[in-house]
Amino acid sequence: MTTESLVRTEELRIYFPVRKFFGTVGEVKAVDGVNLSIGRKETVALVGESGCGKTTLGRALLGLVKPKSGKIFFDGTDLTILSERELKLMRRRMGVVFQDPYASLNPSFTVYRIVEEPLVVNKIGSKEERREMVLKALEEVKLNPAEFFASKYPHMLSGGQRQRVAIARAIITKPEFVVTDEPVSMLDASIRVEILLLFREIQKKHGVSFLYITHDLATAKYFSDRIAIMYAGRIVETGPTKAVLSEPLHPYTQALIDAIPDPDPSNRFVMRKIPPGQPPSLVNPPKGCRFHPRCPFFMQGKCDVLEPPMYRVGVERFSACFLHEEKVTIK
């Protein structure tokens, strides 16, 4: 891991219009003022409950969603001002692995065609060169013998094998940055570890940076260098994974971890229970701190009025909570 950022957002806002038959009636503030950075060869886990905006943020980092405001830098270039053509070229340096290995692969294509597709779309290599690259990618994701798997269709494979095909497709253009959106949540526990180990291996070999989107703190603990906790469109805490999980700062992070009385140590960090109450509507989020209606430390007249800024609380630790106002080392 290095501290130099490969991907960085500045005050990123992504709003979607809410339309009714007579016109626009509001906006879903899916991402609302997010500053996030991912270093070269670093894995950042983006953790939060369903609907908190983490998938939208991941898609935006790939240049797939147009922001309302703010900036997205990839290797120093602001993606928000690029033309579609320029974005397409930039996306050759990025990859994505989705949650559902069943839905993300075209059922009428062979594995060979699925993995070759990004090369064809980006006009990379001759037919023979592409064949060599496809077989090599299949070997790299441990689908051996590669020739055997290349001729299969998705329905002939297990969930884990399908996800390996999706990973081969994501890495075939040798991306520097890969977004993985809940890539193991639909797989059996034993296969999850294998897939996460594969990501680690790929990272070690090719120096890829990963954004690992998940609701599962157990796999985030295992796979990520840093963690960013997202709540209702905003990042509320970031820091080195071990430090955040062993000593969470933000009340929301604390609640996520404390609310899991599971006797099985392997499930200790799985978010099967969430803090009391519901996440707020992203159309009309609460004024002030968005967590205040659920927060046990809520300070009336402050938390419901002012939005807490992100405070630096020690080395590489940040928390958007007024409880840390006093502890601030650098604002």
The residues binding ligand SF4 (CB under 6 A) are 251, 289, 291-292, 295, 297-299, 303, 308, 321-323
Cβ atoms of residues 103 and 95 within 8 Å: no
Q: Which is nearer to ligand SF4, 61 or 289 (CB)?
A: 289
- Cβ 284 to ligand SF4 shortest distance, Å: 17
Shortest spacing between CB 327 and ligand SF4, in angstroms: 12
Residue closer to ligand SF4 (CB basis): 84 or 326: 326
- Please, what is the minimum distance in Å from the beta carbon of residue 319 to ligand SF4? 8
Q: Could you tell me the smallest distance in angstroms from the CB atom of residue 251 to ligand SF4?
A: 4
What is the rounded CA–CA span in Å between residue 57 and residue 55? 5
At its nearest, how many Å lie between ligand SF4 and the CB of residue 249? Answer: 10
Instruction: Compute the least distance from the CB of residue 302 to ligand SF4, in Å.
Output: 7
Output the CA angle 211-212-216, nearest 5 degrees: 155
Complex with ligand SF4: residue 101 or 308, whichever CB lies closer: 308
Which of 202/255 has CB closer to ligand SF4?
A: 255
Q: Please give the Cα distance from 163 to 142 (Å, whole number).
A: 11
| Residue 70 or 308 with smaller CB distance to ligand SF4 | 308
Could you tell me which residues come within 8 angstroms of residue 172 by beta carbon, excluding any fewer than 6 positions away? 115, 116, 118, 119, 133, 134, 137
Name which of 230 and 321 has its Cβ closer to ligand SF4: 321
Residue 329 corresponds to which amino acid? T
CB of 52 to ligand SF4, least distance (A): 15
Give the H or E element holding residue 85: helix 84-91
Closer of 172 and 321 to ligand SF4 (Cβ): 321
What are the residues facing 69 on neighbouring strands? 13
* Shortest Å, Cβ 323 to ligand SF4: 5
257 or 323, CB closer to ligand SF4? 323
CA neighbor of 93 nearest in space, from 115, 124, 62, 116: 62
Q: What are phi and psi of 38, to 5 degrees?
A: -130, 125
Q: Please enumerate in sequence order all residues whose Cβ is within 8 A of that of 2, keeping only pairs 6 or more positions apart, or say none.
A: 39, 40, 41, 42
Q: Which residues, other chains included, contact 305 with Cβ-Cβ below 8 Å and sequence gap of 6+? A: 287, 288
Task: State how beta strands 69-74 and 5-20 pair.
Answer: antiparallel
* Strand residue runs (E) in the chain: 5-20, 23-34, 37-39, 43-47, 69-74, 77-78, 94-97, 177-181, 209-214, 226-231, 234-240, 311-312, 318-319
Q: How far is the CB of 14 from ligand SF4 (least distance, A)?
A: 22
Chain centroid offset of residue 131 CA: 31
Nearer residue to ligand SF4 within complex by CB, 59 or 324: 324
